[in-house]
Structure formats: structure tokens, C-alpha cells
Structure 1
Amino acid sequence: MAKIALGTTREAAQPDCIRALIVEFIVTFLFVFAGVGTAITADKLGGGALVGLFAVAVAHALVVAVTISAGHISGGHLNPAVTIGLLAGGHITVFRSLLYWIDQLLASSLACFLLQYLTGGLSTPIHSLASGVGYFQGVIWEIILTFSLLFTVYATMVDPKRGALDGLGPMLTGFVVGANILAGGSFSGASMNPARSFGPALVSWDWTDHWVYWVGPLIGGGLAGFIYENFFIIRSHVRIPTHDQEDQSY
């Protein structure tokens, strides 16, 4: 079972951590800027709900793929749910996870405030539940969508035996984000990312249903990380013993 390390405050002063936080801030900012910017543009131009949803899904798929690749120094999390999924698998300490969360929320907020200024004060769409979708349904939507996101991250980037998928992780992760937005965007909003929801809510000062976009993604991300790490990743191989050789593992 994966061991979760608490870490120490000394991590914040380590050069590798500082570099990672700077990169994580930049790529999260770019991700939110493109994603929220597309949502604002879709609202401004109209063209129908389906066209707008498709545009938002494509934009998020593309920017996720690019920013994960560009953010390789920090891991390109972009998302507190991804961070908690990697924490559940023992790939990041608790203390550094908290630093990443703060980083991601600040980057999202800055991106949204800048968009509000650059668009002349246009409304920033928030994530909220659609009419007829209850809190429990919304949480379940976000759990499932975020679970699929983290399962993809683990299968294509974290798993050391990803085989032919090696190098395709960012693109495939972008694909699943786009597909999930098309599937759940008209119901829960398909956030999958508390930071992506936080920035628009802060700028608009509209916290309607906001807790859903923390509870659902964090549960979904944590579950996916824990399950994949502990049940699907094989980190050792036991040789078949012969009559003159004891069991060995490596």
C-alpha cells in the first residue's frame, strides 16, 4: 500500500520545489485563462448551447494537453484533484500538496481577474448545477468524471509499465477532459477541478453550488489515485525460482 509522507516546511525553500511552484503557477494560469476565456467568448457570441459546449470542450482538451506537457517540471497538475490523486498514491508529500493547492488557486484567480479586465467587465461564467440536478447528483457526476481523469493520468503517465502509451499521456488526458465536458457539462458543469471553479466564483462573487466542485473532484481524484496505485501498479517482479536459485525480486 502506498505510503503518504507528510513532508516538512523545509521543502518550501528547496530550489526544486520553488521551480516547481513557479511552473505550476504559470501553466495553471494559462490553462484557466484559455478555458474561462473560451467560456466567456461562447457566451458573448451565442450560437447555441451545443456549439458553446463543444467549443469549451475542445478548448479545454487542447489546453490541458499543452499545459501538462509544458509543465513537466512541476508535473503539470493544474488541478487540486490531480494533486490529491497523486498524494493518495504517495507521489507527493502532504506539505507540497498544500503549496500546490495555494499556487493553483492563486493562478486561477489572477487569470480570471485579468480576463474580467481584458473583456471590459464581461460576466465570467461559473460552474453551477443545471436545473433539475440535485446536490447529490452533482457530486456523483463530479466524482465519476474526476475519477476517469485521474485514472487516465495514472494509466498514461504515472504507471511505469504504460507501454505503448508512453509519451501520449498529456494528449490522452486532454481527450478525456474534453469528452467529460461533453458528457457532463450540461448537468454538473463538468469541472473536475476545484481551482478551475474557484477563480470564476471569486471574480463573480457567486458561490452557488461551489462546494460541489470541491467535494466531488477531491473524492473522485483521491479514489482513483488510491485504487490505481494500490491495485494496478506493479513495481516489482519476482523471478520464477529454479532448483538451484532462490526467489529474487527487483
Structure 2
Amino acid sequence: MPINQIAVGRYQDEVTHPGALKAALAEFISTLIFVFAGQGSGMAYSKLTDGGASTIDSLIAASLAHGFALFVAVSVGANISGGHVNPAVTFGAFLGGNISLLRGILYWIAQLLGSVVACLLLKFATHGMTTSGFALSSGVTVWNGFVFEIVMTFGLVYTVYATALDPKNGSLGTIAPLAIGLIVAANILVGGAFSGASMNPAVAFGPAVVSWSWESHWVYWAGPLIGGGLAGIVYELFFISGNTHEQLPTTDY
């Protein structure tokens, strides 16, 4: 059971240890890279269209920007921190016993700070343009958005487990950053027109702080954390813990 693997961790090893601090710095930088590119793509579209309404073009642009940026952000942080870049991923990894509570909290702080700094840099570089906070589309209730965020984040964290955290992943580990970026890009094409497709509390937190807009903000915390936590528990319980399945040779698929 995953619950047996959950660990709090030791303060000296998980918070003040140089390795832990380096990992937190890597999460800060990776999240900054991701949010700067993702949030910046929306601001660039707004500038090019003089604040025009969102269209399918803007949705595709956001999907590509977030997918490519996350691919890079995960890749550059993978060998240092694991490349979580998302509190929901960290939470799912914690519930699956893959990271301690104290290390997870350290990652959360770094991820949230990285998002806030990215949005501050964008605001400064664009001469005060608004960093748009996540918001539900017209006609979409908070419960609609809540379900969207749960399902999309479940898919994201499930992909993280299958390609990056599963000890049987074999050669699949080499494409983990690409797979993670692609599932986020695909989810934005699905949920972007409804909830904004955050799937990441840090991504929603930075713009909310800088623009000081908190409407329905709880959706972008509760949804991703529930979805990410469920994915971690389900994958660890059914596909890792006590599993004796042998991976097929790569020549078989």
C-alpha cells in the first residue's frame, strides 16, 4: 500500500542539506522557465491582437507554448530534482511514497516562488501588461471547472508515473519529458476553453499574486491536488507495489 511508503523525512537531510537546496533551486528555475513561456505566450497574443478575444488560434498557441516549455523545464530539472515543476506532481509523488513530506514542502515553496518571479519579470519586461490569472469561462460553473482540473491533472500525473517514476519504465524514461509536455498540450486543447486548463497550482498562483485576482482560485488548487494525488495512489497501488510483472523487451513493442 502506498500509505506504508509515505515518509516525513529528516530536517537535516530534506531541508538544509546542500543536495536538497540544489534540488529546490532547480525546481525554482524550471518553474520560472515554464511559467514565463506559458504565461508570456498569452500576453504576446494579447499584444499582437490589441487585446482581442480568445480564439482557436490563441488556444493552439497556448497549447504549443506550454507543451514545449514543459518539455524543456522537465528535461533541465530531471537529473537534479526530478523535474516536478508542479505542486500536484510533487503531491502525487508524495502519496506514492516517492518523495518525503519535508522535501515536498521545499519543492512547493520553490515552485510557487518561481511562478511569482516569472510573472513579475513578465510584468516588468512588458511595461506593466497584466499577467492574466486563470478564470472559468462564461457559463462554466466552479464544479465544472473543478472536475476538469481533476481529470486533466490525473492524466498528467499518471503520465509522470508511467514514464518517469515507474521503476519498470526502461527506455520509456528517455521520452518522459516529451510525454509530459504532450499530455499538457493536449489537455489545454480540451480544457482550455472551459477552466483554462491549469493542472498546476503554481501556474495559477503566480498570475493571481501579481494581478491580485483570486476569483475561483481554490479550483486551481483543489482540482489538481485531488487529481494528482489520485493518480499517485492508483499507479503506485495497482502498477508498482507488489507488482511482479516483467517488462516486455523493447523489441516486442
1:148 counterpart (152, 155, 161): 155
Q: Which amino acid aligns with 1:4?
A: I
2:199 counterpart (166, 173, 192): 192
1:235 CA drift (Å): 5.8
Q: Flag structure 1 segments of 5+ consecutive residues without an equivalent.
A: 240-250
Partner of 2:131: 124
Higher mean C-alpha displacement, 180-189 vs 16-25: 16-25
> How far apart, CA to CA, are the structure 1 residues paired with 2:44 and 2:245?
55
Partner of 1:103: 110
Q: Does 1:34 align with 2:37?
A: yes
Partner of 1:67: 73
Report the TM-score, using the length of structure 1 for normalisation.
0.92
Q: Does 1:6 align with 2:8?
A: yes
DSSP-derived class of the 2:15 partner: helix
1:164 CA drift (Å): 4.7
1:142 CA drift (Å): 0.1
DSSP-derived class of the 1:71 partner: helix
1:51 CA drift (Å): 0.6
> How far apart, CA to CA, are the structure 2 residues paired with 1:160 and 1:74?
17
Q: Does 1:58 align with 2:61?
A: no
1:236 CA drift (Å): 5.9
Q: Does 1:87 align with 2:89?
A: no
> How far apart, CA to CA, are the structure 2 residues paired with 1:131 and 1:12?
43
Q: Does 1:18 align with 2:21?
A: yes
2:190 counterpart (180, 183, 186): 183
> How far apart, CA to CA, are the structure 2 residues paired with 1:238 and 1:25?
36
Give the alignment of 1:166-177 within 5 angstroms.
166-177=173-184
Q: Flag structure 2 segments of 5+ consecutive residues without an equivalent.
A: 247-253
Number of residue pairs the alignment of both structures matches: 239
Q: Does 1:44 align with 2:44?
A: no
Partner of 1:242: none
> How far apart, CA to CA, are the structure 1 residues paired with 2:242 and 2:122?
45
DSSP-derived class of the 2:240 partner: coil
Q: Which amino acid aligns with 2:24?
A: L
1:227 CA drift (Å): 0.4
1:165 CA drift (Å): 2.1
Q: Which amino acid aligns with 1:20?
A: A
